[in-house]
């Protein structure tokens, strides 16, 4: 990665501070291909210019709660990436994901300058993904599951396994995977008292109990090392 001009790097650091709760100097140095000492200087420069950066010793940097910068401007390449992602997501089989992304991208497009809008519209008409060409929608619950996952809320589901075995379960959402146009949910199943993998399009009904659970405090990598269930048949029916 080439070293960015300093002004460009400072702008990128500001954007990262706005979009993340905590950013470390190591993360920033690796992302921008500069030394940690250079990042320290960049942070001091931003602080001197009036940006309220909070330094958490031994942890990293964050932006003061409530501080807002003017809307960011997108480069042509960034705008093109957003348009390409939009066309890909429109092929997704979860209706809720398509709906909310479309609403979000509409707000993002409002930030584009006139010439960028014209080019974005042109690209939108000239790019097409062949996957799911019939625009099938096989599930509607991805956004609800994401919300429960990030808020540590127990979900009650009526589930139909690949072998057509029906069951009702309380689950603790842990992670989401996308593979071969299907969304998979890794969750702790209270019925089986173990982690299971569920296909979202096989969830017949879903209810948020609003009961909260303690975070399982492990990464996806740690999950795979401990449980390694990805190669099962995704039915969530294993006892």
pLDDT for residue 109: 83
Predicted confidence at residue 185, as pLDDT, reads 96
Confidence check: pLDDT of 70 > 90: no
Residue 239 has what pLDDT? Answer: 43
d(Cα 186, Cα 176) in Å, to the nearest integer?
A: 6
Spell out where the chain has E strands.
53-56, 60-63, 153-160, 166-179, 182-189, 194-199, 203-212
What is the mean predicted confidence (pLDDT) over 35-46?
93
- Asked if residue 82 lies in contact with residue 105, where contact means CB atoms within 8 angstroms, the answer is yes
Tell whether the model's pLDDT for residue 238 goes beyond 60: no
Residue 133: alpha-carbon gap to chain centroid: 24
Burial profile 125-157: b = 16 or more Cβ within 10 angstroms, e = fewer = eeeeeeeeeeeebbbbbbbbbbebbeeebbbeb
Q: How confident is the model at residue 2 (pLDDT cuts 50, 70, 90)?
A: very low
**Nearest by Cα to 236 from 190, 205, 195, 207:** 195
Structure token pair of residue 58 = 């031994």
What does R_g of the chain's alpha carbons equal in angstroms? 22
Give the list of residues 6+ apart from residue 2 with CB closer than 8 angstroms, or none.
33
Q: Residues 189, 169: contact at Cβ < 8 Å?
A: yes
pTM of the model: 0.69
User: Mind listing the pLDDT tens digit for each residue in 138-179?
Assistant: 999 999 999 999 999 999 999 999 899 999 999 999 999 988
Q: Within a 10 A sphere around the Cβ of 234, how many other Cβ atoms?
A: 22
- pLDDT of 187 over the 70 cut: yes
């Amino acid at each position: 990665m080439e070293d960015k001009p300093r002004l460009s790097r400072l702008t990128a650091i500001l954007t990262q501070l706005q979009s993340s709760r905590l950013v470390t100097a190591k993360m920033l140095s690796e992302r921008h291909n500069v030394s940690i000492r250079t990042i320290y200087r960049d942070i001091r420069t931003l602080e001197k210019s009036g940006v309220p950066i909070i330094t958490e010793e031994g942890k990293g940097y964050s932006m003061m709660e409530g501080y807002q910068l003017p809307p960011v401007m997108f480069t042509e390449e960034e705008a093109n990436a957003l348009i390409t992602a939009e066309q890909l997501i429109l092929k997704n089989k979860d209706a809720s994901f398509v709906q909310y992304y479309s609403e979000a991208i509409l707000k993002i497009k409002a930030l584009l300058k006139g010439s960028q809008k014209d080019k974005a519209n042109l690209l939108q008409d000239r790019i097409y993904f062949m996957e799911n060409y019939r625009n099938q929608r096989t599930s509607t619950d991805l956004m609800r599951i994401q919300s429960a996952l990030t808020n540590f809320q127990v979900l009650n589901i009526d589930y139909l396994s690949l072998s057509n075995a029906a069951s009702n379960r309380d689950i603790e959402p842990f992670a989401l995977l996308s593979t071969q146009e299907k969304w998979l949910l890794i969750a702790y199943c209270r019925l089986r008292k173990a982690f299971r993998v569920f296909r979202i399009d096989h969830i017949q009904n879903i209810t948020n109990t609003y009961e909260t659970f303690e975070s399982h405090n492990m990464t996806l990598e740690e999950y795979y090392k401990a449980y390694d269930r990805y190669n099962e048949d995704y039915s969530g029916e294993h006892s």
